[in-house]
Chain A
């Protein structure tokens, strides 16, 4: 049984065939890594799955409901939440406010209710702050709660982005290069956090270049090259797959 079932996903941008007839499955409560050389179409796959781009054809069924055709916020409502390769934090807001914004769909307060601070709204806000604190603690960023996101160093920003996504209580979390720009220790912490997140029952699909991290955390790997799937399987098999080694030739030295 798979939580996410991608079938025949296809997307062209003008002359570029970014994603070609891509099919794969993500099983519940596992970490799946989507890897491939630069420009292989990994981020495009994320955009297609989350409503930021429309595929030319193909389907993506999540818990028996079709994701393709939904708008981005509707995808979030289904329980599929993503992060970006380039940080998209709300820079003018504090870390806590970023995490609270991540809970947007789970809170109810309307303009009117908020304007008059209805008791219901106040209670909701109080509970939300408790939960935000919990999410921040889980990722070890609670002491930065009241700093502005725009003032944070790069490594922390990546973690806040994961926290914000997690605050939406996703069933499936899509992380686009969460370790990009992190140093060795930060990457270690991230690996621990990803495993902890999986153990709380969340399923993860990650795009990542750091092969150490990929091999450490993923249960399964799907490899794409020029938009096409060239291999799929558990980490140990992928590492020895001749097609993968060939695709990575030239990059293989410094990455694996």
Chain B
């Protein structure tokens, strides 16, 4: 019990320290980048639950991110819905779209599920361009109102960053709690073996759909926060490349981990801004890094998978030997 208390307090201190970061940083540009870090953290936590824990692939999360962003922007900017209500509706919409995608797609497995969600992302990319009345098409949607609750409006980069990080922290904590109890065990169980999960009474199909909807909802939440934080959104932010980057972060971060994907996604988010964030770095180097980000990400994923496959086979070999030893 005491150890638990200590850990709880430790967690509180870490959380406070993290929320203090945006207050210490004064550079507007850096604050903006840190805001992106928080936004992406929310999406990647959702995807980690879906893929890292439940084992279900999605190459369509950028689209859910987009649904949340456009929905909240449209509701506040065009329809004049109050911010908090608009964000809530955007999350619900992303959940519902996620549910609608999940019900037919989750009958599929592995590559087929990847293809189905990839197709969904491509369809939504077209929708974001063509539904001009809502999205503004390729020109994008601007003048998105700042977050506001009643008379209180958050417009300073510091306030926006603290808001996003606070939400990200809450989401990460909630996700961690889920993974440690009944619904989390159900997710991990069906990932390990579906017949095994069925045999203990887990409604595998229902759990998959629920996790997918939750995960899509979190992407939608991140999208809504993103839209209000930057004030301008366009279809290029919600393309397949972002979906792939998210999956790469979860693959790199490891199975059944939240911190891993969070760390990987943070690195991916900061990488393109290395020139601005590291003052000493020569301009040419920074530009090269920026140009090669997708290649660096791809290379890291491939290397990780190779190393991990070798590690796994090593582990497997030692276990076999141990068993053989016990038999004799």
User: In B51-100, which residues have CB < 8 Å from any A CB?
Assistant: none
A50 near B: Cβ within 8 Å? yes
**Residue pair B200, A76 in contact (C-beta under 8 Å):** yes
**Residue pair B199, A90 in contact (C-beta under 8 Å):** no
A137 to B39, CA, bound (A): 46
Q: Which residue of B lies closest to A75 (CB)?
A: B201
**Residue pair A52, B319 in contact (C-beta under 8 Å):** no
**Residue pair A84, B195 in contact (C-beta under 8 Å):** yes
A109 to B193, CA, bound (A): 22
Pick the interface stretch among A98-106, A139-147, A196-204, A232-240. A98-106
B189 contacts which of A51, A72, A90, A121 (Cβ < 8 Å)? Answer: A90
**Residue pair A164, B183 in contact (C-beta under 8 Å):** no
Which residues on A sit within 8 Å (CB–CB) of B200? 76, 81, 101-102, 104-105, 164-165, 167-168
**Residue pair B192, A92 in contact (C-beta under 8 Å):** yes
Which residues on A sit within 8 Å (CB–CB) of B323? 153-154
B32 near A: Cβ within 8 Å? no
Contact with B along A215-253 (1 / 0, CB 8 A): 000000000000000000000000000000000000000
Which residues on A sit within 8 Å (CB–CB) of B189? 90, 93, 101, 104
A121 to B181, CA, bound (A): 9
Q: Quick one: given A81-B200, A111-B214, A115-B178, are A52 and B195 in contact (CB under 8 Å)?
A: yes
CB distance from A71 to the nearest CB of B (A): 8
**Residue pair B202, A114 in contact (C-beta under 8 Å):** no
A208 near B: Cβ within 8 Å? no
A114 contacts which of B177, B188, B198, B201 (Cβ < 8 Å)? Answer: B177
**Residue pair A104, B199 in contact (C-beta under 8 Å):** no
Q: Quick one: given A90-B189, A92-B188, A92-B256, are A115 and B175 in contact (CB under 8 Å)?
A: yes
A153 to B326, CA, bound (A): 8
Which residues on A sit within 8 Å (CB–CB) of B175? 115
A158 near B: Cβ within 8 Å? no
Count of residues in B whose CB is under 8 Å from the partner chain:
34
B186 contacts which of A71, A101, A116, A165 (Cβ < 8 Å)? Answer: A101
Which residues on A sit within 8 Å (CB–CB) of B178? 111, 114-115
Which residues on B sit within 8 Å (CB–CB) of A109? 181-183
Q: Which residue of A lies closest to B171 (CB)?
A: A115
**Residue pair A107, B182 in contact (C-beta under 8 Å):** yes
Which residues on A sit within 8 Å (CB–CB) of B201? 72-73, 76-77, 81, 104-105, 168
Q: Which residue of A lies closest to B192 (CB)?
A: A90
User: In A81-134, which residues have CB < 8 Å from any B CB?
Assistant: 81-84, 88-93, 97, 100-102, 104-105, 107-111, 114-117, 121, 125
User: In B192-235, which residues have CB < 8 Å from any A CB?
Assistant: 192-193, 195-204, 210, 214
Q: Quick one: given A89-B192, A90-B192, are A114 and B181 in contact (CB under 8 Å)?
A: yes
Which residues on B sit within 8 Å (CB–CB) of A192? none
Q: Chain B CB within 10 Å — which of A83, A89, A101, A153 has the most?
A: A101
Which residues on A sit within 8 Å (CB–CB) of B199? 50, 72, 76, 81-84, 88, 165
Contact with B along A51-93 (1 / 0, CB 8 A): 1100000000000000000011100110001111000111111
**Residue pair A84, B196 in contact (C-beta under 8 Å):** yes
CB distance from A220 to the nearest CB of B (A): 24
A90 contacts which of B180, B196, B198, B255 (Cβ < 8 Å)? Answer: B196
Which residues on B sit within 8 Å (CB–CB) of A125? 181-182
B133 near A: Cβ within 8 Å? no
B182 contacts which of A84, A114, A164 (Cβ < 8 Å)? Answer: A114
**Residue pair A88, B195 in contact (C-beta under 8 Å):** yes
Q: Quick one: given A115-B177, A117-B177, are A100 and B198 in contact (CB under 8 Å)?
A: no
B275 near A: Cβ within 8 Å? no
Q: Which residue of B lies closest to A89 (CB)?
A: B196
A154 to B325, CA, bound (A): 12
Which residues on A sit within 8 Å (CB–CB) of B261? none
**Residue pair A111, B210 in contact (C-beta under 8 Å):** yes
Q: Chain A CB within 10 Å — which of B183, B188, B189, B200 has the most?
A: B200
A73 contacts which of B192, B193, B198 (Cβ < 8 Å)? Answer: B198
Which residues on B sit within 8 Å (CB–CB) of A88? 193, 195-196, 199
A189 near B: Cβ within 8 Å? no
**Residue pair A111, B183 in contact (C-beta under 8 Å):** yes
Which residues on B sit within 8 Å (CB–CB) of A84? 195-196, 199
Contact with A along B224-264 (1 / 0, CB 8 A): 00000000000000000000000000000001100000000
**Residue pair A114, B195 in contact (C-beta under 8 Å):** no
Give me 20 other A-B pairs in contact (C-beta within 8 A), A88-B193, A92-B188, A92-B255 excluded. A51-B198, A52-B195, A72-B195, A72-B198, A76-B198, A76-B201, A89-B196, A91-B192, A93-B185, A93-B192, A101-B185, A104-B186, A104-B200, A108-B182, A111-B183, A111-B214, A114-B181, A116-B174, A125-B181, A167-B200
Chain A contacts to B: CB under 8 angstroms: 50-52, 71-73, 76-77, 81-84, 88-93, 97, 100-102, 104-105, 107-111, 114-117, 121, 125, 151, 153-154, 164-165, 167-168
A-B contact pairs, 14 of them (CB 8 A): A71-B203, A72-B198, A84-B199, A88-B195, A89-B192, A90-B196, A92-B192, A93-B185, A101-B185, A104-B189, A109-B182, A111-B214, A125-B182, A154-B323
